[in-house]
Structure formats: structure tokens, C-alpha cells
């Protein structure tokens, strides 16, 4: 059982670590090309994580995804808690590595999710998380061999359209890691409750529009 939690830790580590390196590599989302590069960084990082660890844990790597599967009665509460611990630990470990590689906590803070307007960020995080989690529930139910690619490409799109408005977190662990290591929890709240609300909406939509196996 512990292998599932370790898989979530390592998968989240890959997602947050490679995605954060992508942000640093292009100097942040300063233009369209940088947005695309960062989106691809996170999307391809998720694809790698799904390929190497998804077969062990199901490849959540995101507390919002785990919440949706818990609501759908596809896992126990004890497993969900283990997944959440692993996800937050993996994201924090990834940001520690970023600190070690870049040599400063300031570099870690550059990988954190931020927003300009709180109300806009709330709406965007709820909507984008709902789309992302609903996609995951649907493609996993279908059992498609292309599920990892489909999920990863949706995450690419979410980053491209969402970063200018909310930072495109859609993942409480992804936002927690850089905030914890940088020591700045200022804007962290929205990245916890908004994605979780989005996950509940995604689950409700999934139940409203069931997918045939």
C-alpha cells in the first residue's frame, strides 16, 4: 500500500520539479512564447509522471483529483489522506531541489502561483480545475490508452490560458510546494479552496453526464 503513496510523492515531484524548471528556464511568463513553453513544461512533466508512476497509484498527483475520486467512491478516506500527504511532500521536495539548483529562495518564489485580482483568480481556478478533473474522470472511465496524453495536453492548454489570470495552479500541492520553501504563503488560500470546489463541480458534472465503459 505504501508504494501507492510513494508513487504519488514521486509523480508530484516530477510534475512540480520539471514544471518549475520550465518557468525558470524561460524567465517567467512574460509573453506568448513563454506561456506556451511553460504550458508544455507542465504538461510533458505530467505525461512523464503518468508513464512512470501512474500504473502504481492511478496517477493523481493533485489533491483535487484525489478528492474527486474519493467522492466517486473509488478510494477510501485513508488512501486519500495518504495520497494528499504524498502529493504535498512531493511538491515540497521538488521546490527544495529548485532551491538547491538555483542557489536561492528567490528563484523558488519565481515558480510560485500568483494573481492580480482575487475574484478573477477564484473563478478561473474553479473553472479550469473543473475542466481538468472532469476530463480525467471521463477518460479514465473510458479506459483509453491515450488517457495520459489527453490529460497532459489538457493541462498544457490550462496553463496557456490560465497563467495570466490566476497562475494556473488547479492543484493545491503545486502551489503549496513553492510557497512553503520560499516562505511566502500570502496568496496561497485561493489555490486550496478554489481547486477543491472545482473538483466537486467536476464530479457532479461527471455524474450528470455518465460515461459508458
How many other β-carbons are positioned within 10 Å of the β-carbon of residue 65?
A: 26
Q: Which of 154, 156, 144, 146 is nearest to 202 (CA)?
A: 154
Q: pLDDT, tens digit, for every residue of 82-120? A: 999 999 999 999 999 999 999 999 999 999 999 999 999
* Alpha carbon distance 135, 188 (integer Å): 25
Q: How many Cα atoms within 13 Å fall on the side-chain side of residue 21? A: 15
Give the number of other CB atoms < 10 A from CB of residue 75. Answer: 18
Question: Distance between CA 86 and CA 53 in Å, rounded?
Answer: 13
Query: Rounded to 5 degrees, what are φ and ψ at 100?
Result: -65, -40
Q: What is the pLDDT of residues 165-174, one digit of tens each?
A: 999 999 999 9
Packing angle of the helix pair 63-71, 172-182 (nearest 10 deg): 140
In this prediction, residue 130 carries a pLDDT of 98
DSSP designation for 3: H
Question: pLDDT at residue 46 above 80?
Answer: yes
Domains of the chain: 2-208 (1.20.1080.10)
CB 66 within 8 A of CB 148: no
The whole-number pLDDT of residue 47 equals: 98
The pLDDT of residue 146: 87
Per-residue pLDDT band at 213 (split at 50, 70, 90): low
Position 30 scores a pLDDT of: 86
Residue range 113-130, pLDDT digits in tens:
999 999 999 999 999 999
Alpha carbon distance 124, 195 (integer Å): 9
Amino acid at each position: 500500500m505504501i508504494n501507492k503513496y510513494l508513487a504519488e510523492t514521486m509523480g508530484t515531484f516530477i510534475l512540480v520539479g520539471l514544471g518549475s524548471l520550465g518557468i525558470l528556464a524561460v524567465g517567467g511568463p512574460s509573453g506568448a512564447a513563454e506561456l506556451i513553453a511553460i504550458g508544455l513544461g507542465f504538461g510533458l512533466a505530467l505525461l512523464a509522471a503518468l508513464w512512470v508512476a501512474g500504473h502504481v497509484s492511478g496517477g493523481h498527483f493533485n489533491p483535487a483529483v484525489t478528492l474527486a475520486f474519493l467522492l466517486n467512491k473509488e478510494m477510501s478516506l485513508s488512501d486519500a489522506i495518504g495520497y494528499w500527504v504524498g502529493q504535498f511532500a512531493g511538491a515540497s521536495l521538488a521546490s527544495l531541489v529548485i532551491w538547491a539548483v538555483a542557489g536561492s529562495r528567490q528563484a523558488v518564489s519565481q515558480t510560485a502561483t500568483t494573481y492580480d485580482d482575487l475574484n478573477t483568480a477564484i473563478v478561473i481556478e474553479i473553472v479550469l480545475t473543473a475542466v481538468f478533473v472532469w476530463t480525467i474522470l471521463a477518460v479514465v472511465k473510458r479506459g483509453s490508452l491515450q488517457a495520459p496524453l489527453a490529460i497532459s495536453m489538457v493541462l498544457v492548454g490550462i496553463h496557456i490560458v490560465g497563467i495570466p489570470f490566476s497562475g494556473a495552479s488547479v492543484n493545491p500541492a503545486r502551489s503549496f510546494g513553492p510557497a512553503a520553501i520560499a516562505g511566502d504563503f500570502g496568496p496561497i488560500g485561493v489555490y486550496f479552496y478554489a481547486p477543491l470546489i472545482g473538483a466537486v463541480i467536476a464530479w457532479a458534472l461527471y455524474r450528470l453526464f455518465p460515461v459508458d465503459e
